[in-house]
Structure 1
């Protein structure tokens, strides 16, 4: 059976389905992992906005079958209604989504909210349909986001900051191309294979092309290099990405999602990591067996990977998401609390839209075979 966390995840991955359930043409404008919670109220399930700019606050429940749950829902919805008045200078409509619920308890919620003068609507949703959508996400993840053995073993890039030394060297030499031999002689990394692995990541980020043992800056790579800070020795330092570099890479990754038939290892790791933090509601403990099990749910082919390998993938992916300003993180004794930054929210919404279209296209093609 699905739990509420999986239902939230499925609807956030499929905002069109959420809009259909509500019966309005609306987009998600806030959700429970956004860094700046709506109205300062804390974590909410969803806030939707229709084409006329009207907001709808959504409280999601799997089942409402006891008095304690009634009290919880009434308290939550009333609190959100009060906050909505501060945000919009009027009470936004509240929507309670529930499945597998006793009508008596739903009526009790409605009566209580009417007494509190809270405009609301209670909608039953089809849990079996949500389950099918959830499985379709997992099926597509297995098809598109499984890591190859080579990608799993790729441990040479623990942080995208390590790549900036390469572009700093291009900038220092005032060139857009360089032989691999020249780069190997200049870098301070112990093994040439380390340089090659990092050059591969530069290629995946759309910043570099390699042909006939020569590395060339792409058009995007030239822009990226322009914003790169020195020093000029490859591998000397981790060099922070600045805001322009982060935005450029995020743009490249979205373009990659939209246009490529097969996804590269960086986009695989970042997308699955964001799905993972959505699924765990932003809270997890590094290397915890339960956390690793949840990560395996997202890509079934990961089942064969060792726990340590999964833990490493989570850690590297977490670093990349931080490097690109997709997440904000608080860490206490290996306990992680993760929120999406505004840039991360935008990236996630855009990636969901693209992946939903691609999943639908895949289903149509499969049905016509």
Structure 2
């Protein structure tokens, strides 16, 4: 076999091995530039050093890849994503939500944390003394009161017409004028008084008297049930605030961070959105009373409510618009596959669980 034939065979064999799907991926670069932003507890700065769940997780991934890391701090999520898109950073990690819109431009790792949005409001002690007149007007104009007024109107109009028909020709009865007007007004007054308290006058016609007795029992039941419902509504109003879930956000002043998925959601809800450069600025706006609530990623708000904001703020409602966090790469970056493999290994060997418990306290 000639030298040229041997060389050709070696070239063909090497090409075949490289083209196999099971061939090992290219090793990660020896040094990686990682864009991040401070969002506790995912990323926070202590004594000039970056820590947090996302930082610890990435350091574990980088150790698997055998790569050193240079972190690049960004002010907000838009600048972080832009640094990855333009090549200023090799990848980005922090509290980056995986969305369909972002997935058109970037590649994401498998989810590294399940999250979602939540609402943060001031605690009861920070809300100041309630305005009694404002609370009373809010209750008077509430849907519950309007429904009860509608029921009461029906319960007055129907028996008033029955009594008017039976009593209008009775001499000395409760209807002094047999004509519909003004006779019906006397009947309506009698029906309203009977429903609210008790009849100050009884009809003379025997069938009308039977209706009156039945109506007195109806009035007792109506007033008792209405009082119970009103008491329950007042109790709930004292326990809860004005904002108890995403349905209460339209028209409210709500802070979040610029370019976040929370900002897009709030605009869809027609809230009065204040987009701040950092979540810390949003917290301060809430504490200062310039906004009614903060909407942001649930793990971040829960951490603040249990640490720096404890006793001053509280969570309102449950997690909504659930979403996942991921590590973001420029589209087509081959490093994503290596990172996914490392993330799976960290889950399998228990490292991920230990990091989760360190920062969030429970599985």
Q: TM-score range with shorter-chain normalisation? A: under 0.3
TM-score when scaled to structure 1? 0.23
Rg larger for:
2
The structure richer in helix per residue is 1
TM-score when scaled to structure 2? 0.23
